[in-house]
Amino acid sequence: MAPNSSVVATTTSVAEAEAESPPPSLSAPRQPPPTWIRESNLLWYHRWVIRVLRAGPIPEHVAFIMDGNRRYAKKANIAKVEGHSAGFEKLSETLQWCLEVGISEVTVYAFSIENFKRTQDEVDALMDLAREKFQRLLAERDRLHERGICIRIIGNWDLLAPDIQRSIAEAVLLTKDNRKATLNVAFAYTSRDEMTHSIRTVAQGISEGRLEPEDVNEELLTRCLYTKYSAEPDLLVRTSGEVRLSDFLLWQSTSTVMYFTETLWPEFTIWHLFGAVFYYQRYRWRMQDVRRSLDGFTIDAACSDEAHAKESSCVERKERIGRFLAHIEEEEEKQLRRLVRGMAIK
């Protein structure tokens, strides 16, 4: 499902509001200890802008393509892994900004399956960084519960080392009942892989007799994606000047407002976030029209099909699909618990 209808903004220069913020220094100032959970660093004028923005609609779900870490490292004359570390620090800071603006769900593109094609040294360094950050996430479990943050790691876990799988499985299980905010980390992810996973899941359901071929539709495939627990993103932000999605949330972005900025991810500031939210407020109505049109088409088609079917058959179909989806969720939780215990996936 290509996002052909999505509203796109491209910034070729820093927005007016962004210009008020001085560019971050490329020197290495003293940094606080690495953490996923930041305390607020906003000043009174930041809070004033937030109050103004909240007079309009705030996106509930924002996705970020965090691009530009390697270019930042080159620009700052530091190692690539240090650029990626700077990107993580910016992520934790941005998550706090999102909470304060009122954004309740964030999805970030942390590591693409395509990234495995980079040099082995860089891939190894990124995996070591991931180990460190996921362990840090587990160490901050009390703060995650205190803030009510649910962590989900979406992607093909089979491509990851067993110790990383175990860490992320523990993080997902620990926070699965938190409801105040959600962070989805796309790790070893591409949309093509996600759609392939969904189709295979449905095909397996048919082969096992849990589904019938006529049960397959767009809604069922959507509910078998890695992102099945999330609504479609309202706003997608990509940094570094690239104007493409790089195989990220292609199925989910049909009615998403898209905002592109030339700023490198480690240099992203709250002013850039303000600019993206303001742009969303200006063009949200267009995407609502697109969404209504798509939903109307889907509903009309479903009603037309059901008009030719017996009511009892429709009820049976819904119950069958419900049982299948419940089975999938149960199997996924069992898999998580096996990973936490250090057992191989079966």
Predicted confidence (pLDDT) per residue in 41-61, tens digit: 899 999 999 999 999 999 999
| Mean pLDDT within 148-160 | 96
Position 39 scores a pLDDT of 86
**Domain locations in the chain?**
59-293+321-341
**Residue 33 scores a pLDDT above 70:** no
CA dist., res. 175 & res. 178, Å (int): 5
Decide: 266 and 86 in contact? Cβ < 8 Å: yes
In angstroms, rounded to a whole number, what is the distance separating the alpha carbons of residues 114 and 128?
Answer: 18
Q: Tokens 């530009």 map to which residue?
A: 68
Q: Measured between alpha carbons, how far is 77 from 74 in angstroms, rounded to an integer?
A: 5
Percent of the chain clearing pLDDT 90 (strictly above):
77
pLDDT at 8: 59
Q: Domain 59-293+321-341 is in which class?
A: alpha beta
Percent of the chain past pLDDT 70, that is, above it, reads 83
